[in-house]
């Protein structure tokens, strides 16, 4: 199921935040309105009760009860706030009772009832304030009241307004939110469309970067950088495939021609043997090339794993030196090894590390003319071990130096091919060094030999005083 679009989710969030907020505001508004009306009504009742109390205190000390009744009647007609008042004496006999209260039969409050209360009498809701007034030992009970229906109606009207306005507001705001998120996200749609139109055939195309200084600009820039990286990787892979097919085609064509030539006429057993040996030789080299290609392809995809264990670097270098001595002897070269006396332990894959140093020694021997020197040395520099393979051979030109670690790169193609080089050795060497969190570099001057240095992180140093100097031919 396709999940909701970001636009819809943003709108839903907007609605989800706005709806409860508007509801809370409405509830607070109605509650606040109720409270302020009640307090205004109570305040008015309080003032009226005070006025009646003052009137009674003024009248009674000199006048009779009848005088008081007359005064109250007069006062109640003067009082603009209404006629809603009743006065009873201590024996609960009414002295004065306004018509509305009498019509609705509003009784005297019980002693337990609060001084101010809201009560409904025969369909009339009243807010009543009860006052007990004692004048010269005579008790009176005075109630002043205000009908609440007008206020109630006002509140109800306000509530109805809210019932209409709040949903309408919510609807408009949600529609507005949807429209705004649509507008805000429309550049993202453009980025999506542009990104979708880029494929293997037009990998060099880039997204248009808006100069808005916002997240969209960053997103477009980041996607463009990613496209540049993908384009680089794509070019490398295409180049690698093209180079690999080319490298394989040549030896296979040679093998085929040799086999065809041999089959053109009948040959002696010795001739067949010679041709078969040549074919086998060629097949071995081709299969070695395929192995190297496979290794690089696996390293590219991250599928080539290392079998790491704690290794003694000197043990590895000693084994490599043994082969170096033999290879150098075959070419009449001097081979020397100067190894760090301390035992250097590192985490690594023994086979791959041996392969790395053998590639360097093999190259040094390959590109050094007879009677030259080849030397390997190891040193401990801080937490790194540096292994250098030095030769006094033909060296490498400044223009070739930055490229020698590239796949299929050969500084001198004819010489390299002649000596069986595929241009993959140093590329594999660099991958091995980097897979061990190390690095490889080269220094050279044409005609003055070359020095390849590998630095690898050391896990531990022991004090074992191991020293190995390989033979000299």
What's the CA gap between 26 and 36, in Å, rounded? 15
Q: By C-beta, is 416 or 453 nearer to ligand ADP?
A: 416
Q: In angstroms, give the least distance from the CB of 366 to ligand ADP.
A: 6
Q: Is residue 140 packed enough to be buried (19+ CB in 10 Å), middle (13-18) or exposed (0-12)?
A: buried
CB-nearer residue toward ligand ADP: 76 or 416: 416
Tokens in use for 134? 């004692």
Q: Which is nearer to ligand ADP, 408 or 466 (CB)?
A: 408
Measured distance CA(352)–CA(295) in Å, rounded: 11
- Contact flag: residue 393 with ligand ADP (CB under 6 A): yes
Q: Percentage helix, strand, coil, to 5, in the chain? A: 55, 20, 25
* Sites for ligand ADP among residues 397-456 (CB under 6 A): 404, 409-412, 416, 421-427, 450
CB of 327 to ligand ADP, least distance (A): 13
Which of 310, 380, 381 lies closest to 339 in space, CA to CA?
A: 380
Considering the complex, state which of residue 348 and residue 425 has its C-beta at the smaller distance from ligand ADP: 425
Cα dihedral sign, 281-287-290-295: negative
Min dist CB 406 to ligand ADP, Å, is 8
Chosen residue from 45, 56, 227, 364 binding ligand ADP by CB under 6 A: 364
Can residue 391 be called a binding residue for ligand ADP (CB under 6 A)?
A: yes
Q: Which is closer to ligand ADP, CB of 101 or CB of 389?
A: 389
How near is the Cβ of 276 to ligand ADP at its closest, in Å? Answer: 26
- The one among 385, 396, 432, 456 contacting ligand ADP by CB under 6 A: 396
Q: How far is the CB of 364 from ligand ADP (least distance, A)?
A: 5
* Shortest distance in whole angstroms from residue 310 CB to ligand ADP: 29
**Measured between alpha carbons, how far is 245 from 239 in angstroms, rounded to an integer?**
10
Q: Which of 458, 433, 440 is nearest to 344 (CA)?
A: 458
Task: Identify the CA nearest to 87 among candidates 126, 119, 129.
Answer: 129
- Least separation in angstroms between residue 306's CB and ligand ADP is 21
Residue 306, phi then psi, degrees to nearest 5: -105, 140
CA distances for 441 relative to 244, 322, 375, 413, angstroms = 25, 24, 16, 21
Q: Which is nearer to ligand ADP, 327 or 450 (CB)?
A: 450
| 328 lies in the binding site for ligand ADP (CB under 6 A) | no
CB of 425 to ligand ADP, least distance (A): 3
Q: What is the DSSP secondary structure assignment for residue 118, as one 8-state letter?
A: E
Query: Of the two residues 48 and 366, which places its CB atom closer to ligand ADP in the complex?
Result: 366
Cβ-proximal residue to ligand ADP, closest one: 421
Scan residues 215-234 and list those touching ligand ADP (CB under 6 A): none
Of the candidate spans 39-47, 137-145, 274-282, 393-401, the one that interacts with ligand ADP by CB under 6 A turns out to be 393-401
Three-state DSSP state, 374: strand
The sign one gets for the Cα dihedral 402, 407, 411, 416 is positive
Q: How far is the CB of 265 from ligand ADP (least distance, A)?
A: 37
Q: Which of 128, 358, 388, 394 is in the footprint of ligand ADP by CB under 6 A? A: 394
DSSP code at position 5: P
User: Is 252 within 8 Å of 228 (Cβ atoms)?
Assistant: no
Rounded alpha-carbon distances, angstroms, from residue 132 to 144, 175, 198, 217, 471: 12, 60, 91, 78, 127
Q: Which is nearer to ligand ADP, 144 or 411 (CB)?
A: 411
Q: List, in sequence order, the alpha helices (H) in 302-424.
A: 313-330, 350-366, 413-418
Closer residue to ligand ADP, CB minimum distance, 324 or 393: 393
Residues that bind ligand ADP (CB under 6 A): 359, 363-364, 367, 391, 393-396, 404, 409-412, 416, 421-427, 450
């Amino acid at each position: 199921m396709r999940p909701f679009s970001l636009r819809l989710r943003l709108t839903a969030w907007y609605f989800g935040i706005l709806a409860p907020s508007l509801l809370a505001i409405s509830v607070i508004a109605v509650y606040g309105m109720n409270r302020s009306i009640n307090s205004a009504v109570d305040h008015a009742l309080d003032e009226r009760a005070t006025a009646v109390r003052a009137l009674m205190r003024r009248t009674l000390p000199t006048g009779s009860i009848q005088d008081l009744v007359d005064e109250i009647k007069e006062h109640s007609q003067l009082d603009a706030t209404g006629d809603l008042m009743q006065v009873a004496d201590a024996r609960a006999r009414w002295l004065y009772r306004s018509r509305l209260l009498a019509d609705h039969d509003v009784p005297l409050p019980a002693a337990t009832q609060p001084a101010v209360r809201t009560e409904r009498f025969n369909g009339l809701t009243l807010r009543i304030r009860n006052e007990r007034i004692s004048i010269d030992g005579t008790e009176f009970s005075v109630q002043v009241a205000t009908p609440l229906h007008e206020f109630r109606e006002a509140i109800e009207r306000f509530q109805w307004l809210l019932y209409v306005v709040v949903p309408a507001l919510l609807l408009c705001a949600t529609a507005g939110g949807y429209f705004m998120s649509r507008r805000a996200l429309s550049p993202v749609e453009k980025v999506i469309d542009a990104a979708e139109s880029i494929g293997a055939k037009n990998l060099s195309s880039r997204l248009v970067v808006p100069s808005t200084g916002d997240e969209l600009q960053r997103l477009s820039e980041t996607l463009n950088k990613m496209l540049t990286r993908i384009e680089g990787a794509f070019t490398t892979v295409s180049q690698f495939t093209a180079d690999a097919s080319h490298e394989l085609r040549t030896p296979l064509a040679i093998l085929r021609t040799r086999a065809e030539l041999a089959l053109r006429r009948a040959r002696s057993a010795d001739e067949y043997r010679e041709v078969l040996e040549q074919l086998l030789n060629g097949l071995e080299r081709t299969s070695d090339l395929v192995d190297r290609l496979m290794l690089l392809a696996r390293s590219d995809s991250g599928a080539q794993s290392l079998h790491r264990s704690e290794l003694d670097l000197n043990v590895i270098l000693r084994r490599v030196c043994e082969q170096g001595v033999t290879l150098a002897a075959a070419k009449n070269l001097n081979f020397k090894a100067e190894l760090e006396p301390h035992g250097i332990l590192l985490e690594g894959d023994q086979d791959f590390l041996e392969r790395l140093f053998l590639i360097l020694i093999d190259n040094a021997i390959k590109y050094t003319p007879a009677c030259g020197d080849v030397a390997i040395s190891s040193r401990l520099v801080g937490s790194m071990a540096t292994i250098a393979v030095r030769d006094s051979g033909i060296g490498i030109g400044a223009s070739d130096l930055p490229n020698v670690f590239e796949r299929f790169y050969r500084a001198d193609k004819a010489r390299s091919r002649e000596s069986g080089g595929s241009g993959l050795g140093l590329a594999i060497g660099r991958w091995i060094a980097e897979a061990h969190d190390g690095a490889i570099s080269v220094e050279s001057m044409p005609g003055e030999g070359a020095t390849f240095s590998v630095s690898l992180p050391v896990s531990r140093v022991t004090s074992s005083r191991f020293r190995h100097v390989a033979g000299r031919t």
